[in-house]
Chains A and B, each alone.
Chain A
Amino acid sequence: MPKIFYHHPGGATDVIDAVPGTSVMRAAITNGVDGIIGECGGQAMCATCHIYVREDYIGALPAMNEDEDEMLDVTSSPRDDERSRLACQIKVGPSLQEIAIDLPLTQVEP
């Protein structure tokens, strides 16, 4: 099964084996990984599943659509032009067997 490495800001890491076709957001929520909210249910409309993808995996990702691009401009933690994505828009599967991401400090305004 595809593997997702969730690196928390404090240094801890959750490693999740995800069912192929599952988004990085859904896998986090289903498995109790803190730091991803996904309030809109995966429609790129709330920007509460912001992640920083580790460099080695950026090349394997699907292209970003306009909605995702716009939402990334308004995330609670600052956007990184290279690494920021929405976890709901990235699905693991045959073309993405492994991914490692860093979680931001916050997903919602304090």
Chain B
Amino acid sequence: MSRIVIIGGGQAGVQLADSLRSEGYQGAIDLFADEPHLPYQRPPLSKDFMSEEDGASPLPLRAGTFFGDRAVDFHQGVEVTSVDPVGQTVVASDGSTLSYTKLVFATGARNREISVPGSELVGIRYLRTLDDAKALQAELGSAKHVVVIGAGFIGLEFAAAARKRGLDVTVLEFGPRPMGRVLSQFMSGYFADVHTDSGINLKLGEGIASLTGVEGKVSGAVSTSGTEYPADLVVVGIGVLPNSELAVQACLEVDNGIVVDACLQTSDPHIFALGDCSSYPNVHTGARIRLESVQNATDQARILAKTLTGKPTPYEALPWFWSQQGAVKLQIAGIIHCDDESIVRGEPASGKFSVYCFRDGRLTGVESVNSPSEHMAARKVLEQRLPLTPELVMDADFDPKSFSRQSAFLNPNDKEGLERPATV
């Protein structure tokens, strides 16, 4: 009998199990999840979960009855420890061995850890899993001075939530701008102001040099400028590393993630990879990328389910992202580079505006603040590769919603010259 083994119980793995059944797959599905919980949503952990009101109840990905209803053999709290790609078997931490007809890596990513002096002190936390979040949530009740290392999405979402609880919050960022890798310079600067205005002590150009402690517990963070900031809680958010060790051991090609083709197939025809752990050729950028997002995980799962049920389908969905930092909702459509040409539409002071990013005259992405309908219009424009130019965006009469609708009826010939970038 056919058996698909999925390693990983995050958004990607669970959606894949779900979509395989929706696509009519009738063989066995085995899903291995190394965490001791039923699969849950991670995004709220750095946001609502950290508020005083929310009371720390995780949002499940599916009901407890899901696995039984869909005939998915869910191996809760069990890790796959080795893969034999020749014999097509996996060995799990409970001692079991399973053979597979297809194997899927949905192993996700893990936090990068700091290794400065003092890293081992009590009170230094990371935020990725439900257990991480519960521990942090508990400590927020008694903490006074919080230092966040890294001004990325997770770090700033957490910082905003901690600040809202009235704590003294310092954020250390080695780079010149918050979220500098993934946002336009304008948007990055906007967020620097938002957080500073809320009372967060945002220190740009200052990395972490060491952590100091009293009786084994953290008491301060010393930055690369030599300044010591008091801290009874330190949260590290300096990015993630793809979980690709098992893939390396299985002799799969790995390069910042498990290398897959457009159909998410690895260098072994029986093995696939998706979500945070996979590096795939992105048709929108013409480059190979690895994305860490819910959209990427779930859309890849829906597409892979088609391929695994005999309908090979390349993954071409438009990437989109969101972040909630205090009262500011940021939504991003497309992949933006910090040096793209950017055009601001709307009035940033009003708290509602968008930034349109162009590269070589082509729209690469749109960042929207508290403007969900503009974000959705931007997604349509990008998905359909409609011919939006910087000049059009700068026109006072430009209306993204009607542009995204009207242009959908354009003669396809009008889109000449807007074909996809050269394939990877």
Interface residues of A (CB under 8 A from B): 26, 29-33, 38-47, 67, 70-71, 73-74
Contacts and interface: CB of A to CB of B under 8 A. Distances in A.
Which label, helix, strand, loop or mixed, suits the secondary structure of the A interface? loop
Contacts of B371: 70
B44 A32 contact: no
From A39, A41, A71, A74, residue with most partner B Cβ within 10 Å: A41
A31 B372 contact: no
Nearest to B379: A74
A98 B259 CA distance: 50
Contacts of B329: 43, 45, 67
Contacts of A70: 371-373
7 contacts: A29-B60, A30-B63, A40-B43, A45-B322, A67-B372, A70-B372, A74-B377
Nearest to A43: B324
Interface residues of B, number: 28
Contacts, number: 64
Interface of B: 41, 43-44, 47-48, 59-66, 69, 294-295, 298, 322, 324, 329, 331, 370-373, 376-377, 401
A41 B372 contact: no
A43 B322 contact: yes
Contact of B59 (A29, A31, A47): A29
B303 to A, nearest CB: 13
Contacts of A45: 322, 324, 329, 331, 372
Contacts of B61: 29
Contacts of A44: 372
B373 A39 contact: no
Contact of A39 (B298, B372, B377): B298
